[in-house]
């Protein structure tokens, strides 16, 4: 079924369904490359986005506006700082208190050139390469159900392993931790929560369905959209919010990864928009420059709609009951069943598609997403940008 407007209350499939969005171009001249992309100049922050950060991060309007500008600068600085640090790079994160990117450095002789990029520098004992090697060794271990996740934490200078408190005395958990510590620097933390994916059974009036499963659209690409891999397998048909045929899963990976892409046709098409659900105005997507740890980030999904938080960790392995998923990004943005596959966006930059987490949007929680640039590069897709 053809759509004639993006702005419809209760519609989370707006990325696909618009023919009259004022000012949006659907021509290929606006496309971004599959790699990291960003606009030549940052567009002013949308009033609704500022309001959402005020609500979810407990900021004043001026603080929210300033933070968005600082984070835009940090995205640019991070790339230059990484290059300047070279082999001494120990990771980086956005420090909201300082309003700047902080870089961990193992060789103080590189301090001057890194600081010249606009970053602040702190000493580190381990390089990012060493920490990534430690995490890769953990990825090769069989993970018991009592292990929730593990990730590289540049602020801690180690790989953090999260253990479900109820299983901390299990022998298989103890063996995993013993082997993990042999691999390199490891810090162990506890949680009472167990990660799960956010797919849901069919509920009328929501965006897209595969059989009896409802999920959310991530980002438009030319020819379709990207979403979560646990939502469908290659060859499965997809129905839209109105029950009409949208397209077909062309590629999907889960577990190990959690990403997929769906081709669209039958009168459906793509636009570079993330639905704001009336909480904020619908957001234009202008690129996919990766936000640093500590940056603010927002999520749009078909169940809990629009919520914001911050990036907590990157390169995290999440141990779902179906198997481990690698290279995820963790946030403190809430999500609920049916939000799977939905959009994570920082400013106007696409970040990734919702995978899973714990908690809900009444009591709070944490949510992981699969970075969008990995999906674009894996399938050779081009992000549809404004």
Residues annotated as catalytic are: 230, 258, 340
Return the closest-CA partner of residue 353 out of 367, 374, 372: 372
6 exposed, middle or buried (CB, 10 Å; 0-12, 13-18, 19+)?
buried
Cβ atoms of residues 333 and 299 within 8 Å? yes
First-residue to last-residue Cα distance in the chain: 24
3-state secondary structure of 66: helix
Both tokens of residue 110?
A: 């590189």
Cβ atoms of residues 299 and 343 within 8 Å? yes
Return the closest-CA partner of residue 303 out of 196, 206, 195, 226: 206
Gap between the Cα atoms of 371 and 351, Å rounded? 6
Residue 304 carries which DSSP code?
T
Partners of 89 in the β-ladder: 105
136: CB partners within 8 A, 6+ apart: none
3-state secondary structure of 88: helix
Gap between the Cα atoms of 152 and 124, Å rounded? 13
Cβ atoms of residues 55 and 48 within 8 Å? no
Return the closest-CA partner of residue 335 out of 351, 309, 319, 359: 359
Q: How many other CB atoms sit within 10 Å of the CB of residue 112?
A: 10
């Amino acid at each position: 079924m053809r759509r004639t407007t993006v702005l419809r209350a209760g519609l989370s499939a707006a990325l696909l369904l618009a023919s009259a969005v004022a000012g949006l171009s659907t021509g290929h001249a606006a496309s971004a490359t599959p790699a990291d992309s960003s606009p030549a100049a940052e567009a002013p922050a949308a009033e609704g986005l500022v309001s959402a950060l005020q609500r979810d991060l407990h900021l004043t309007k001026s603080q929210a506006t300033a933070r968005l500008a600082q984070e835009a600068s940090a995205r640019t600085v991070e790339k230059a700082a990484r290059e300047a640090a070279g082999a001494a790079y120990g990771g980086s994160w956005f420090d909201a208190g300082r309003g700047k990117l902080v870089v961990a450095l193992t060789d103080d002789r590189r301090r001057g050139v890194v600081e010249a990029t606009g970053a602040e520098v702190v000493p580190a004992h381990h390089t990012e390469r060493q920490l990534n090697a430690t995490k890769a060794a953990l990825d090769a271990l069989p993970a018991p159900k009592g292990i929730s996740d593990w990730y590289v934490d540049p602020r801690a200078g180690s790989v953090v392993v999260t253990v479900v408190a109820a299983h901390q005395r299990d022998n298989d958990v103890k063996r995993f931790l013993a082997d993990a510590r042999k691999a390199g620097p490891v810090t162990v933390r506890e949680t009472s929560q167990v990660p799960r994916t956010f797919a849901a059974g069919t509920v009328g009036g929501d965006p897209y369905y595969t059989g009896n499963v409802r999920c959310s659209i991530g980002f438009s690409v030319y020819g379709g959209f990207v979403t979560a891999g646990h939502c469908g397998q290659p060859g499965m048909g997809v129905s839209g919010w109105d029950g009409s045929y949208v397209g077909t899963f062309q590629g999907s990976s889960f577990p190990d990864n959690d990403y997929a892409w769906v081709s669209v046709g039958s009168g459906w098409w793509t636009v570079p928009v993330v639905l704001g659900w009336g909480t904020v105005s619908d957001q234009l997507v202008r690129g996919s420059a990766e936000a640093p740890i500590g940056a603010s980030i927002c999520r749009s999904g078909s169940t809990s709609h629009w919520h914001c938080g911050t990036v907590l960790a990157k390169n995290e392995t999440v141990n779902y009951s179906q198997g481990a998923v690698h290279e995820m990004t963790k946030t403190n943005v809430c999500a609920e069943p049916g939000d799977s596959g939905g959009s994570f966006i920082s400013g106007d930059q696409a970040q990734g598609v919702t995978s899973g987490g714990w908690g809900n949007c009444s009591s709070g929680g944490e949510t992981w997403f699969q970075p969008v640039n990995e999906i674009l590069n894996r399938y050779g897709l081009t992000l549809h940008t404004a």
